[in-house]
Structure 1
Amino acid sequence: MHAEPNAPATTRVFIALAPPDEAKDELAEALAPAYAAYPRMRWNRIEDWHLTLAFLGELPLASVPPLRPALADLAAARRPLELGLRGGGQFDERVLWTGIDGDLDGLHLLSDEVRALIGECGIPFEGRPLRPHLTLARARRDDPAAVVESAAGLAGFTGRRWRARRLHLVGSNFGRGPGPIRYRDIDSWDFQG
């Protein structure tokens, strides 16, 4: 990753899995009534939906390169996980999410391995326990009912199973302007084990 002129010297970094387009499209279809009913919610872009394994926070750009070989080796040794998207919920009536179903033991093991690598790379990390979910939207302060009702609308949703085939090292621009959060892959690796 190379710094561009006037680019920040830090970036928010996390390690994640991403559902395939078919699974995201299926969930987007289930969300159609909520999209129509609550257009003022801050909806995450479908292409940015991800399952965070470890959130590293704001890091200096120089901290990122040592993660690459360690994560590449981890991915090369692991098999894809079979997962699915299921149901809906909320955090503090502000954040709408959908849950994760499938090989949850394998998911927790992968997260533990990723978090151990972060420590081995010398990056300070205070990880909260993994709560597998995809964040879908955030409510505006004046409309918390939007999240509650949207979560209720997803209660019966069960998506098709899919294979998480790649491990992603992701950066975001959170807090850098009035627009929506934008995510970009810094790098990614196929699971090959």
Structure 2
Amino acid sequence: MILVTIGVVGFVGLTVFGISIMGTKTDAEYFEKQKTITAESNQKRTLYSYGLDTLNWEDYVLKRKVNMILRKTERDSTITFRLFDIKDTLDNYGFTQYVKHDKSIYIVGEKHKIIKQNKYLNTEISNIAFDLYDAVEPPTDWNGSFLFNKEYGVLNIEAWSAGRKIFILPTNYKSDVKSELLDKKINTKENER
């Protein structure tokens, strides 16, 4: 009985001690600091969605063009990119998280890594070259590789399962999307799957 009493008193003592340590201001400040936003910006973008032509299955045609807002949020260890419809901010078109320490990207919980650095540069879009990324462990119906840089975000996506090629460009982009980006096959890898 004495051992049980000592055990209960010890457990209660450790619990109270643990709660008092966890609630210290130092810990609260530490966790608050981790959530601190160091920079946030909104930029206008236009999403161009190309799909296979129903008459000529080798040609892509513009299927959809949507004006959007890209919200870039930078924290100590990550940069988050979110795309929203200009007219309806609840209409979320995507979320990309860039991890600074290993230059990886997470989209829908899947990790992506650089497969080719400085793959594409177009100073009308960004002064920094885009790196080519691909999923670390892609499922069989996964999207293809895509171009990304940490200042701009995602430039393009290949949605293989939907037969789509998507470009996310500055609203003031003047060049012809089809000839400059689509026909040049800017995001192809040397060794296709």
- Does TM, normalized by the shorter one, top 0.5? no
TM-score (ref. length: structure 1): 0.24
Structure with greater strand share of residues = 2
Which TM-score applies when normalising by structure 2? 0.24
The structure with the larger Rg is 2
